């Protein structure tokens, strides 16, 4: 017996239950077609909603930034200073989001880990949608705050739960904007009304809303026209923006506070100048045109309508995130593997990312997809879905 034998046992258990994640190796850039495990496949997995991950303008901005600033930030911003590029990105993001101010982090995950413990602690309560992203859950754990989970996208349940705790000292309601595994949209209008009634702070994670929802992809707050009514917005640069990084948008005093209290900001180096320059180019492109956002929605409507006609259950999606519901994790994995063999890369998602028994193939639509390729992929979904008795 070795003291680390439990790891082998745990890995075996994951394999037996179909929950072991097989990470494919991608060679070359992101796009509609990629090379994964040495095979050319149609890519239905990435969050590259608008194709920015390999956009020529973003790439040349990153290359220029390397010439000017080099490759590494050398230390955390509070100690070694911050580049003017980082500040420019924060200024442009604030304009894009219609917020007073923003502060950037290394990732969306870090943004959640920074803001939640800075806002709430042991004496306080977080009201959290039961399907909120793992980074929100971990942010709450770090904050050592009490968490009251309310039913997914259910304002009545939120209202009842917050009413029961109405005398709590500080109350924070947190929701994903677009739920990353369901594709549905939080009832933000109702959440804001409840927050106003009970004097609660509001926070929305817009990771899958920006570049997708609202005018020209300005996100969920713009989608519901709630500017100035949501206290904290979390964003990521790793999805529609095509790069990497995260941020918080809100009031100037909030971002000033997070620069003093957000631990990932204080104790971890910032993203590189090349990342930041590419992000600035992404924001500029989105401010200049909504053509790609419209194309994304066109592709979404096309794919989802055809899949529903075949008889696939796509849950309650309202966005380009398209869960093709399967149920059993092993069947979902088998489905995904068969798709891959035909040249369609669409990943199976199981526990713990979604509940046990709710495994699915998660299809992510992108503006880079062509209708012809989508039609071809749908054909394979239909063939394999019939063979496995799903449709």
Ligand X SMILES: Cc1ncc(COP(=O)(O)O)c(C=O)c1O
Binding site for ligand X (CB under 6 A): 107-109, 133, 135, 176, 180, 205, 207-208, 236, 238, 246
**Residue with smaller CB distance to ligand X, 125 or 181:** 181
Residue 135 beta carbon to ligand X: minimum distance, rounded to whole angstroms = 5
Catalytic site includes residue 369: no
Cα distance from N-terminal residue to C-terminal residue, the chain = 47
Residue 116 beta carbon to ligand X: minimum distance, rounded to whole angstroms = 12
Catalytic site includes residue 380: no
Q: How many whole angstroms separate alpha carbon 117 and alpha carbon 342?
A: 46
**Residue with smaller CB distance to ligand X, 159 or 366:** 366
Residue 176 beta carbon to ligand X: minimum distance, rounded to whole angstroms = 5
Residue 178 beta carbon to ligand X: minimum distance, rounded to whole angstroms = 8
**Residue with smaller CB distance to ligand X, 105 or 224:** 105
Neighbours of 391 (CB within 10 A): 15
**Residue with smaller CB distance to ligand X, 61 or 104:** 104
Residue 121 beta carbon to ligand X: minimum distance, rounded to whole angstroms = 22
List the catalytic residue out of 92, 97, 161, 239: 239
List the catalytic residue out of 180, 238, 336, 366: 180
**Residue with smaller CB distance to ligand X, 238 or 299:** 238
**Residue with smaller CB distance to ligand X, 131 or 374:** 131
**Closest residue to ligand X, Cβ-based?**
108
Residue 129 beta carbon to ligand X: minimum distance, rounded to whole angstroms = 11
Neighbours of 201 (CB within 10 A): 18
Determine the distance from the C-alpha atom of residue 336 to the mean position of all C-alpha atoms in its chain, rounded to a whole number: 21
Query: Which residues are marked as active site?
Result: 180, 208, 239
């Amino acid at each position: 017996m070795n003291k680390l034998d439990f790891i082998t046992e745990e890995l075996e258990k994951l394999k037996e239950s179909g929950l072991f994640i097989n990470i494919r190796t991608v060679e070359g850039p992101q796009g509609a077609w990629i090379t994964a495990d040495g095979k050319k496949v149609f890519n239905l997995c990435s969050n590259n909603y608008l194709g920015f991950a390999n956009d020529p303008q973003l790439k040349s901005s990153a290359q220029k930034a390397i010439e000017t600033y080099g490759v590494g930030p050398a230390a955390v911003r509070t100690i070694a200073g911050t580049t003017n590029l980082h500040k420019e990105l924060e200024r442009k993001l604030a304009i894009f989001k219609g917020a007073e101010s923003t502060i950037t982090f290394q990732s969306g995950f870090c943004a959640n880990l920074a803001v939640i413990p800075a806002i709430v602690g042991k004496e306080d309560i977080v009201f959290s949608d039961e399907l909120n992203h793992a980074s929100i859950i971990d942010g709450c754990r770090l904050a050592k705050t009490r968490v009251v989970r309310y039913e997914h996208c259910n304002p009545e349940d939120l209202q009842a739960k917050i009413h029961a705790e109405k005398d709590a000292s500080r109350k924070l309601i947190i929701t994903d904007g677009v739920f990353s595994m369901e594709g549905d949209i939080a009832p933000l209008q109702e959440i804001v009304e409840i927050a106003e009634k009970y004097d609660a702070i509001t926070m929305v994670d817009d990771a899958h809303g920006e570049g997708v929802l609202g005018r020209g992809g300005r996100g969920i707050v713009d989608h519901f026209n709630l500017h100035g009514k949501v206290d904290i917005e979390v964003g990521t640069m790793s999805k529609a923006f095509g790069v990497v990084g995260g941020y918080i948008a809100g009031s100037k005093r909030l971002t000033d506070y997070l620069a003093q209290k957000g631990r990932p900001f204080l104790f971890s180096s910032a993203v590189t100048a090349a990342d930041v320059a590419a992000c600035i180019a992404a924001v500029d492109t989105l401010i200049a045109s909504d053509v790609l956002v419209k194309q994304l929605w066109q592709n979404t409507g096309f794919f989802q309508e055809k899949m529903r006609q075949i008889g696939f259950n796509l849950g309650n999606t309202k966005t380009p995130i398209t869960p093709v519901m399967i149920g059993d994790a092993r069947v979902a994995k088998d489905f995904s593997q068969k798709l891959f063999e035909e040249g369609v890369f669409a990943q199976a998602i199981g526990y713990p990312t979604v509940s046990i028994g709710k495994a699915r193939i998660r299809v992510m639509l992108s503006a880079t997809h062509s209708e012809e390729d989508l039609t071809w992929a749908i054909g394979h979904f239909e063939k394999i879905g019939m063979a496995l008795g799903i449709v």
